[in-house]
Amino acid sequence: MASVSTLPPDESQVGAALRRAGAQFAFVHGSRTAGQTARIDSDLDVGAWWAGTPPQPWEVDLPDGVDLVVLNSAPLWLAGRIALHGRLLFDDNPPARVRWQSDTRRIWLDERPYLLQRQKEWREAVLSHG
Protein backbone atom coordinates (compact mmCIF):
# COMPACT_ATOMS: atom_id res chain seq x y z
CA MET A 1 0.00 0.00 0.00
CA ALA A 2 1.43 3.39 -1.01
CA SER A 3 1.86 5.97 1.69
CA VAL A 4 0.19 9.35 1.32
CA SER A 5 2.46 12.34 1.87
CA THR A 6 1.15 15.09 4.12
CA LEU A 7 3.80 17.54 2.91
CA PRO A 8 2.75 20.09 0.30
CA PRO A 9 4.30 19.75 -3.17
CA ASP A 10 7.59 21.57 -3.65
CA GLU A 11 6.78 24.76 -5.58
CA SER A 12 10.13 24.82 -7.40
CA GLN A 13 9.44 21.30 -8.73
CA VAL A 14 5.95 22.36 -9.81
CA GLY A 15 7.36 25.41 -11.60
CA ALA A 16 10.00 23.29 -13.35
CA ALA A 17 7.37 20.77 -14.49
CA LEU A 18 5.14 23.54 -15.85
CA ARG A 19 8.06 25.09 -17.71
CA ARG A 20 8.90 21.70 -19.27
CA ALA A 21 5.28 21.54 -20.42
CA GLY A 22 5.66 24.96 -22.07
CA ALA A 23 3.85 27.22 -19.58
CA GLN A 24 4.90 30.86 -19.77
CA PHE A 25 3.78 31.91 -16.28
CA ALA A 26 1.93 30.49 -13.31
CA PHE A 27 0.22 31.59 -10.12
CA VAL A 28 -0.44 29.82 -6.83
CA HIS A 29 -4.01 30.44 -5.71
CA GLY A 30 -6.41 29.18 -3.11
CA SER A 31 -5.49 28.18 0.41
CA ARG A 32 -1.71 28.48 -0.07
CA THR A 33 -1.76 32.21 -0.82
CA ALA A 34 -1.21 35.07 1.62
CA GLY A 35 -3.97 35.52 4.17
CA GLN A 36 -5.37 32.03 3.65
CA THR A 37 -5.11 29.03 5.92
CA ALA A 38 -3.97 25.78 4.38
CA ARG A 39 -3.94 22.47 6.16
CA ILE A 40 -0.71 20.51 5.93
CA ASP A 41 -2.47 18.06 3.56
CA SER A 42 -4.06 20.75 1.36
CA ASP A 43 -3.31 20.50 -2.33
CA LEU A 44 -1.38 23.18 -4.19
CA ASP A 45 -3.72 25.11 -6.48
CA VAL A 46 -1.86 26.45 -9.52
CA GLY A 47 -3.03 28.38 -12.57
CA ALA A 48 -0.71 28.38 -15.61
CA TRP A 49 -0.84 30.05 -19.04
CA TRP A 50 0.54 28.87 -22.40
CA ALA A 51 1.40 31.04 -25.41
CA GLY A 52 0.21 28.45 -27.92
CA THR A 53 -2.39 25.76 -27.70
CA PRO A 54 -2.45 24.73 -24.05
CA PRO A 55 -2.57 21.14 -22.86
CA GLN A 56 -5.43 19.72 -20.85
CA PRO A 57 -4.66 19.88 -17.10
CA TRP A 58 -4.40 16.10 -16.85
CA GLU A 59 -1.83 16.01 -19.66
CA VAL A 60 0.77 17.93 -17.61
CA ASP A 61 3.07 15.73 -15.54
CA LEU A 62 2.93 17.35 -12.09
CA PRO A 63 3.79 16.12 -8.60
CA ASP A 64 0.99 14.57 -6.57
CA GLY A 65 -1.08 17.10 -4.70
CA VAL A 66 -1.17 19.75 -7.44
CA ASP A 67 -4.48 20.98 -8.83
CA LEU A 68 -3.85 22.70 -12.18
CA VAL A 69 -6.09 25.29 -13.82
CA VAL A 70 -5.21 26.18 -17.43
CA LEU A 71 -5.68 29.94 -17.44
CA ASN A 72 -6.17 30.09 -21.21
CA SER A 73 -9.57 28.40 -20.84
CA ALA A 74 -10.50 28.99 -17.19
CA PRO A 75 -13.97 30.37 -16.48
CA LEU A 76 -14.01 34.10 -15.79
CA TRP A 77 -15.00 33.76 -12.13
CA LEU A 78 -11.93 31.59 -11.45
CA ALA A 79 -9.47 33.38 -13.74
CA GLY A 80 -10.52 36.71 -12.24
CA ARG A 81 -9.89 35.52 -8.69
CA ILE A 82 -6.47 34.15 -9.70
CA ALA A 83 -5.57 37.38 -11.52
CA LEU A 84 -6.53 39.44 -8.47
CA HIS A 85 -5.33 37.28 -5.58
CA GLY A 86 -2.86 34.76 -6.99
CA ARG A 87 0.78 34.67 -5.95
CA LEU A 88 3.20 34.55 -8.89
CA LEU A 89 5.00 31.20 -9.03
CA PHE A 90 7.14 32.07 -12.09
CA ASP A 91 7.05 34.46 -15.03
CA ASP A 92 9.00 33.66 -18.21
CA ASN A 93 6.97 36.05 -20.37
CA PRO A 94 6.30 39.30 -18.44
CA PRO A 95 4.57 41.12 -21.35
CA ALA A 96 2.10 38.24 -21.81
CA ARG A 97 1.56 37.90 -18.06
CA VAL A 98 0.91 41.61 -17.56
CA ARG A 99 -1.48 41.65 -20.55
CA TRP A 100 -3.37 38.55 -19.33
CA GLN A 101 -3.50 39.72 -15.73
CA SER A 102 -4.63 43.28 -16.48
CA ASP A 103 -7.22 42.22 -19.08
CA THR A 104 -8.60 39.48 -16.84
CA ARG A 105 -8.77 41.76 -13.79
CA ARG A 106 -10.53 44.49 -15.78
CA ILE A 107 -13.10 42.15 -17.32
CA TRP A 108 -13.75 40.34 -14.03
CA LEU A 109 -14.19 43.56 -12.05
CA ASP A 110 -16.52 44.94 -14.75
CA GLU A 111 -18.66 41.77 -14.90
CA ARG A 112 -18.66 40.80 -11.22
CA PRO A 113 -21.51 43.15 -10.11
CA TYR A 114 -23.79 41.78 -12.85
CA LEU A 115 -22.96 38.18 -11.97
CA LEU A 116 -23.60 38.83 -8.28
CA GLN A 117 -26.94 40.47 -9.10
CA ARG A 118 -27.99 37.49 -11.24
CA GLN A 119 -27.00 35.11 -8.41
CA LYS A 120 -29.07 37.15 -5.95
CA GLU A 121 -32.10 37.11 -8.28
CA TRP A 122 -31.75 33.35 -8.80
CA ARG A 123 -31.57 32.69 -5.03
CA GLU A 124 -34.63 34.88 -4.44
CA ALA A 125 -36.56 33.06 -7.18
CA VAL A 126 -35.65 29.66 -5.74
CA LEU A 127 -36.64 30.72 -2.22
CA SER A 128 -39.94 32.21 -3.39
CA HIS A 129 -40.92 28.90 -5.01
CA GLY A 130 -40.27 26.92 -1.86
Q: Is the per-residue pLDDT at 8 higher than 70?
A: yes
- Tell me the pLDDT tens digit for each residue of 18-46: 999 999 999 999 876 765 665 666 788 99
What's 55's DSSP letter?
Answer: P
Q: Which of 99, 89, 80 is nearest to 18 (CA)?
A: 89
Q: Which of 18, 13, 84 is nearest to 57 (CA)?
A: 18
Extended strands (E) in the chain:
23-29, 44-50, 66-70, 87-91
Mean pLDDT, to the nearest integer, of 59-82?
95
- Threshold 0.85, pTM exceeds: no
Higher-confidence position of 9 and 37 = 9
Q: What is the pLDDT of residue 37?
A: 67
State whether the Cα torsion 31-35-40-44 is positive or negative: positive
- Tell me the pLDDT tens digit for each residue of 75-105: 999 999 999 999 999 999 999 999 999 999 9
Q: Is the per-residue pLDDT at 3 higher than 70?
A: no
